[in-house]
Amino acid sequence: MVIKYSNDFKESIVSLHKVGRSANSLAKEYNVSVSTVSKWVNQADPNNTKVLSANERALIKENKQLKEELDIFKTSSGAYGEKLIIKGRIPTLKIINDNLQVGHRITKILNVLRIPRSTYYGYIHWKPGKTLLRRNFIKQKVLDAWLKYPMYGYPRLTILLNRQLKIKISQRMVYKQMYALKIRSRMTKRINKPKTHTEYDQRPNLIKGLPDQSNILLTDITYIPVKNTWVYLASVYNPVTRRVISYKVGSHMTKELATDVINQVAVKSVKPSIIHSDMGSQYTSDLFESTLTRFGIKHSYSRKGQPGDNARIESFHSILKREYINFQEFKTINEAIAGIDSYIRWYNSDRISLVA
């Protein structure tokens, strides 16, 4: 006769086994066969699949496979097949390698992600071609050049690299590499400066429409920030050669400062026929006018409120500030003098011009 045992009885036997009782002692005490006690104990173990039916074991296996596939899919954010391959070799290999590191088999990974074996092994054995090697070489040279001359944009960097490397590099190539590197010319916006006004009547503009400006020099004064105040740079500029002829930094914007750079021009044996300036009080002063008369130089004036009449030197001062001054924090006028002197020497001798 088959004896049926209640679930409570079975659970009590299993509990006694868990606290250390052997199957033999339990069988003798409760008049149950040893095999029956062992069966109850095995059935109570959720990790023991030997006592499960074939269907139960198949379901466990399927669940395990589904979990593995889900884990693989998570690393690719659900992308597979062409949607994954289109991301490129490096991202795809990273996803595959991440799965390999946690113990998934390569066959399983490729099947789940629907990546052909030929594609995978092609990625592994890939070597860069000449075009890519050249592009990477240029990319590094672009970065090196920009780090040395951060004020340069892609047109000047292109000229510089063509000179240095002796190979033909297009502006488009340099632009694309700068875009990939997320770098750009560090030219900045202008800093607001004090406004100036003139109360003198308009004086003649002798260079407007003049076809030959080879014997003309431009002069102007600009503001330089130094520790919460201003110092002043007076310059004389050749609009044809685009070079600074003379310059001086002073703590005050005076007629003497404006005149000193004209005296420097005379000392250098440079004798222009015309000096062009704005209508500022320094340039309409008796000292400035008499100095020009002494050197036999005519004086030409910009129209009031029209800085474009003196555009070339205005442009130089703007470049000086946007490429250099605005990135400095001068504490003294001597620091400003040294820094400006160094920049102007570089500007005159080495800075690449985009104008033929």
What is the phi-psi region of residue 281: left when phi exceeds 0, alpha when psi lies from -120 to 50, beta otherwise? alpha
Six-digit token pair at 114? 């629907």
In a 10 Å sphere around its CB, with 0-12 CB exposed, 13-18 middle and 19+ buried, how is residue 143 labelled? middle
- The rounded distance, in Å, linking the Cα atoms of 299 and 239 is 16
> What pLDDT, on a 0 to 100 scale, did the predictor assign at position 53?
59
Which of 257, 310, 239 lies closest to 247 in space, CA to CA? 257
345 Cβ partners below 8 Å, 6+ apart? Answer: none
Which amino acid would we find at residue 32?
V
Residue with tokens 């050669």: 241
Cβ distance 232 to 252 under 8 Å? yes
Q: What are phi and psi of 268, to 5 degrees?
A: -80, 5
Bridge pairing between strands 216-226 and 274-277: parallel
236: β partners: 219, 246
> What pLDDT, on a 0 to 100 scale, did the predictor assign at position 356?
55
pTM equals 0.61
Listing from the earlier edge strand, what are the strands of the sheet with 274-277? Answer: 243-250, 229-238, 216-226, 274-277, 298-301
Cβ distance 29 to 13 under 8 Å? no
Six-digit token pair at 230? 């201003």
The SS3 of residue 255 is: helix
Instruction: Determine the length of the chain.
Output: 356
Task: Report the half-sphere exposure of 184 (CA within 13 A, side-chain side).
Answer: 4
In a 10 Å sphere around its CB, with 0-12 CB exposed, 13-18 middle and 19+ buried, how is residue 127 labelled? exposed
Which of 28-44 are b and which e, b meaning 16 or more Cβ less than 10 Å from the residue's Cβ?
eeeebeeebbbebbeeb
> What pLDDT, on a 0 to 100 scale, did the predictor assign at position 15?
86
Neighbours of 274 (CB within 10 A): 17
> What pLDDT, on a 0 to 100 scale, did the predictor assign at position 63?
87
pLDDT in tens, the chain (356 residues): 667 888 888 888 888 888 888 888 888 888 888 888 888 888 777 666 555 556 766 787 888 888 998 999 899 888 889 999 998 999 999 999 999 999 999 999 999 999 999 999 999 998 888 888 899 999 999 999 999 999 899 999 999 999 998 889 999 999 999 999 999 888 755 555 555 555 667 788 888 878 888 889 999 999 999 988 999 999 999 998 999 999 999 999 999 999 999 999 988 877 899 999 998 889 999 999 999 999 999 999 988 767 777 889 999 999 999 999 998 999 999 999 999 999 999 999 999 888 75
Q: What are phi and psi of 233, to 5 degrees?
A: -110, 120
Neighbours of 203 (CB within 10 A): 16
Which amino acid would we find at residue 60?
I
